């Protein structure tokens, strides 16, 4: 059956190809034979349905007539046949020729895309006109000649084929000049609003105010160029029983012996021999030397002593010694230098490693260096105010009270009053019962030989029970210095340190601890009971404040030495803070600098200048006051709250904020602006070339 059907199909093809076709009763052999052979072709079954749907839709849209198509039932091939003998006549022939040309063009070059272009490029009016002239019914067309019909068909087909084969993209309708100008004015208005109003407002609202700072002066102080530190020691020399001329002559002999041969030393000794001098009303007196010369035959002794509460050096010189009066100047110079040598070493150590240090000044021994380092390690950093807290912690229930106010008044108040010239000091007290020492340390061990409870030295640092004892780390603006008196139970007394046998120790930069080993059971500690403890606390206070240990005989000279050191350290600290602030403002260009910072910086610079002048003139107390004000102002400027919050403000945060906000608005404006610029450029080129 299959072979017979294939033979029938083949025979049908040959018959349609060889016999002439009739169109409106006329024979057109060769032309219709070519058309018939083109219309009968073989295609794969999987493409038939798609081909049929597209061509049928096009034919129906443009000619209003759907050609009858039949496919063979064979599984491998299908025959698509156009019946030419139907009454549709010329109209079907013309439509089918156009569709065949379109299909061949699509198959060869553009596939489905060109078929779509064909539908867009066809003009139904032209097609309708061509098919109308070619598709008259037989009765009306009988009066026309065959040549006119052929010419009309050729013209219609040529017109439609030229339209279908055209590949040029149709030009959009031209835009009027008024619409073009309107669109450009709209785009320009948007850009004008953005540039004239949006951008300035954004810059104004996001800009940071930066007050002007004297960076050059700040850097000069930080580099040690603004002030050359100079430390004069004013000495008033008086000799009992000598005339003014003799005293002046002795001063001239002593002065070069004190200054030495180093002319670049920052230390100088200024000797004055007048009892009353208006110049000393403005300058601090470092020491007053009271010399008594004994010219007796048995005067062989040289005696030197310092007064405790006065900066007075008392000297007694015996002329009966071998050198006699010739050795007097050398001996006086040696005694005065011995008094000031610890202060000179301390100042050199303080200046070492800073821009103000002199290369030629150096410590003499490593032992002195270690001693000064240990003193600085124990002491608190300088503060304008210190808070002293005296606490009584009792292991049991007694003693429950103490006469602390009377004890402080008699034993500590004189020292506190003397220290007020350097820092303000406040005092508060407290008592807590049933307070045991820290459980983190080992329990004391009883020594039968000495009948004492021993506390190991390594446990001293953990003796304070910070979890249960109410010890505030700071009260107010300044640091708190804690003094703890611990009273153990009678069954655990006396309690001492195993290695030293002592009952008190110092905690660096925290305070002092003392153990009260009372042999009597009392419910109230009297002033007499507290005397040893108060003296211990007084000694610990001098170490925690940073008071020099020498000269040990004169507290007044030690306080003056501390005043010089604190004034110098505050000048160094303030200069360093100003330099750090200058580097910070130069590194972080986006950080805000309010006017308060500029005012604080200027205040610090002014007081630094005054402090340097007072220091050179020997007015150490006034220098300390100005240096303290300068340091407070520089710290206030550096730690300005509005600046600290912006120090760690990353640029990535700005990008994350601005890109989602400005991106969606900026992209359309930029694209339409570029598009209009390109159109404007092309228009100008056409005008020039035209």
Question: What percent of the chain is modeled with pLDDT above 70?
Answer: 68
**pLDDT, greater one: 16 or 631:** 631
**Average pLDDT estimate for 511-520:** 86
> pLDDT at position 570, please?
94
Cβ-Cβ contacts under 8 Å for 238 (sequence gap 6 or more): 247, 273, 275, 288, 289, 290, 291
Q: For residues 399 and 359, is the Cβ–Cβ distance under 8 A?
A: no
Question: What's the pLDDT tens digit per position in 27-59?
Answer: 433 333 333 333 444 444 444 455 556 555 655
> pLDDT at position 116, please?
44
**pLDDT, greater one: 170 or 419:** 419
**pLDDT, greater one: 88 or 670:** 670
Question: What percent of the chain is modeled with pLDDT above 90?
Answer: 20
Average pLDDT, the chain: 75
Confidence of residue 12 (pLDDT cuts 50, 70, 90): low
CA distances from 358 to 228, 266, 354, 556, 668 (A): 10, 8, 9, 29, 67
Helices 45-63, 112-121: inter-axial angle, 10-degree rounding: 10
CA distances from 405 to 53, 101, 413, 526, 542 (A): 114, 122, 10, 10, 20
Cβ neighbours of 313 (radius 10 Å): 25
**Average pLDDT estimate for 182-191:** 87
The distance from CA 190 to its chain's CA centroid, rounded to whole angstroms, is 38
**Average pLDDT estimate for 136-161:** 46
Handedness of CA 654, 659, 661, 665 (dihedral sign): positive
Counting every residue written for the chain, the total comes to: 690
Rounded to the nearest 5°, which phi and psi values hold at 43? -140, 160
Smallest CA-to-CA distance from 102 within 57, 46, 155 is with: 57
Question: What's the pLDDT tens digit per position in 255-310?
Answer: 888 877 566 678 888 888 876 444 433 446 778 888 887 766 556 677 888 888 88
Question: What's the pLDDT tens digit per position in 619-651?
Answer: 888 999 999 999 999 999 998 887 766 656 666
Confidence of residue 524 (pLDDT cuts 50, 70, 90): confident
Confidence of residue 103 (pLDDT cuts 50, 70, 90): low
DSSP 19: S
End-to-end Cα separation, the chain, in angstroms: 73
Distance, in Å, from the CA atom of 333 to the CA atom of 250, rounded to the nearest integer, reads 10
**pLDDT, greater one: 56 or 85:** 56
Helices 177-193, 651-689: inter-axial angle, 10-degree rounding: 150
Residue 482, judged by CB atoms within 10 A of its CB (0-12, 13-18, 19+), counts as buried
Residue 228 has pLDDT above 70, yes or no: yes
> pLDDT at position 408, please?
93
**pLDDT, greater one: 182 or 437:** 182
Cβ-Cβ contacts under 8 Å for 523 (sequence gap 6 or more): 398, 399, 400, 401
Cβ-Cβ contacts under 8 Å for 439 (sequence gap 6 or more): 465
Residue 207 has pLDDT above 70, yes or no: yes
pTM: 0.66
**Average pLDDT estimate for 95-100:** 53
Q: For residues 190 and 145, is the Cβ–Cβ distance under 8 A?
A: no
Q: Any idea which residue has 């020492």 for tokens?
A: 437
Question: What's the pLDDT tens digit per position in 450-483?
Answer: 888 888 888 887 888 877 888 866 666 789 999 9
Confidence of residue 445 (pLDDT cuts 50, 70, 90): confident
Q: Where are the beta strands (DSSP E) in 40-103?
A: 41-44, 77-80
Confidence of residue 141 (pLDDT cuts 50, 70, 90): very low
For residue 396, is the peptide bond before it cis, meaning its omega torsion is within 30 degrees of 0? no
The strand pair at 401-402 and 312-318 is best described as unpaired
Question: What's the pLDDT tens digit per position in 590-606?
Answer: 788 889 999 999 999 99
Distance, in Å, from the CA atom of 47 to the CA atom of 112, rounded to the nearest integer, reads 12
> pLDDT at position 102, please?
54
> pLDDT at position 542, please?
92
Cβ neighbours of 149 (radius 10 Å): 18
Q: Where are the beta strands (DSSP E) in 89-230?
A: none
Confidence of residue 550 (pLDDT cuts 50, 70, 90): confident
**pLDDT, greater one: 135 or 659:** 659
Residue 589 has pLDDT above 90, yes or no: no
Smallest CA-to-CA distance from 507 within 444, 460, 441, 443 is with: 460
Distance, in Å, from the CA atom of 424 to the CA atom of 666, rounded to the nearest integer, reads 62
Lowest pLDDT segment from 61-75, 324-338, 420-434, 564-578? 61-75
Cβ-Cβ contacts under 8 Å for 597 (sequence gap 6 or more): 211, 213, 581, 637, 640, 643
Distance, in Å, from the CA atom of 613 to the CA atom of 218, rounded to the nearest integer, reads 17
CA dihedral 316, 319, 325, 326 (to 10 degrees): -100
């Amino acid at each position: 059956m299959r072979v017979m059907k294939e033979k029938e199909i083949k025979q049908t093809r040959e018959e349609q190809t060889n016999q002439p076709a009739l169109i409106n009763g006329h024979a057109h052999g060769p032309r219709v034979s070519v058309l018939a052979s083109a219309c009968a072709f073989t295609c794969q079954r999987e493409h038939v349905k798609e081909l049929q749907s597209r061509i049928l839709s096009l034919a129906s849209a443009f000619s209003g007539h759907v050609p009858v198509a039949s496919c063979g039932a064979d599984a491998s091939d299908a025959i698509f046949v156009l019946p030419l003998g139907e009454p549709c006549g010329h109209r079907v022939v013309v439509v089918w020729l156009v569709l065949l040309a379109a299909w061949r063009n699509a198959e060869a070059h553009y596939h489905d895309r060109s078929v779509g272009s064909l539908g867009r490029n066809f003009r139904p009016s032209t097609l309708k006109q061509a098919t109308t002239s070619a598709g008259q019914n037989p009765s009306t067309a009988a009066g026309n000649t065959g040549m006119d019909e052929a010419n009309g068909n050729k013209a219609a087909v040529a017109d439609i084929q030229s339209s279908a084969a055209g590949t040029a993209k149709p030009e959009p309708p031209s835009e009027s000049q008024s619409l073009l100008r309107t669109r450009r004015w709209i785009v320009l208005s948007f850009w004008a609003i953005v540039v004239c109003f949006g951008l300035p407002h954004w810059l104004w609202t996001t800009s940071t105010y930066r007050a002007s700072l004297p960076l050059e002066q700040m850097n000069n102080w930080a580099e040690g160029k603004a002030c050359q530190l100079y430390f004069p020691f004013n000495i008033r020399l008086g000799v009992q029983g000598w005339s003014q001329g003799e005293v002046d002559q002795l001063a001239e002999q002593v002065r070069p012996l004190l200054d030495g041969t180093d002319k670049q030393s920052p230390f100088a000794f200024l000797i004055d021999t007048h009892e009353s001098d208006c110049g000393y009303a403005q300058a601090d007196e470092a020491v007053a030397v009271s010399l008594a010369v004994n010219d007796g035959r048995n005067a062989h002794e040289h005696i030197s002593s310092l007064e405790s509460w006065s900066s007075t050096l008392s000297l007694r010189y015996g002329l009966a010694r071998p050198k006699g009066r010739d050795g007097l100047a050398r001996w006086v110079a040696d005694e005065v230098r011995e008094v000031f040598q610890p202060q000179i070493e301390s100042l050199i150590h303080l200046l070492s490693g800073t821009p103000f240090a002199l290369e030629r000044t150096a410590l003499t021994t490593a032992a002195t260096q270690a001693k000064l380092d240990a003193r600085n390690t124990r002491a608190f950093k300088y503060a304008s105010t210190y808070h002293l807290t005296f606490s009584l912690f009792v292991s049991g229930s007694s003693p429950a009270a103490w006469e602390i106010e009377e004890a402080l008044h008699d034993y500590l108040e004189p020292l506190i009053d003397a220290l007020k010239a350097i820092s303000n000091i406040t005092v508060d007290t407290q008592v807590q019962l049933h307070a045991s020492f820290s459980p983190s340390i080992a329990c004391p061990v009883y020594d039968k030989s000495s009948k004492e409870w021993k506390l190991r030295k390594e446990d001293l640092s953990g003796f304070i029970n910070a979890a249960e004892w109410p010890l505030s780390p700071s009260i107010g603006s300044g640091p708190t210095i804690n003094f703890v008196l611990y009273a153990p139970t009678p069954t655990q007394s006396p309690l001492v340190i195993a290695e030293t046998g002592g009952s008190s120790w110092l905690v660096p930069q925290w305070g002092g601890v003392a153990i009260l080993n009372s042999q009597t059971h009392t419910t109230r500690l009297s002033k007499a009971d507290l005397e040893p403890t108060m003296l211990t606390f007084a000694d610990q206070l001098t170490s925690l404040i940073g008071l020099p240990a020498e000269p040990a005989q004169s507290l007044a000279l030690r306080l003056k030495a501390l005043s010089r050191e604190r004034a110098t350290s505050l000048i160094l600290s303030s200069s360093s803070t100003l330099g750090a602030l200058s580097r910070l403002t130069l590194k972080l260009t986006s950080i805000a600098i309010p006017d308060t910072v500029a005012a604080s910086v200027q205040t610090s610079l002014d007081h630094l200048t005054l402090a340097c002048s007072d220091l050179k003139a020997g007015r150490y107390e006034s220098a300390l006051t100005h240096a303290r004000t300068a340091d407070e102002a520089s710290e206030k400027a550096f730690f300005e709250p509005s600046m600290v919050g912006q120090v760690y403000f990353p640029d990535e945060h700005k990008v994350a904020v601005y890109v989602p906000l400005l991106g969606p608005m900026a992209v359309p404006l930029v694209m339409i602006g570029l598009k209009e610029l390109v159109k404007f450029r092309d228009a100008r080129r056409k005008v020039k070339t035209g």
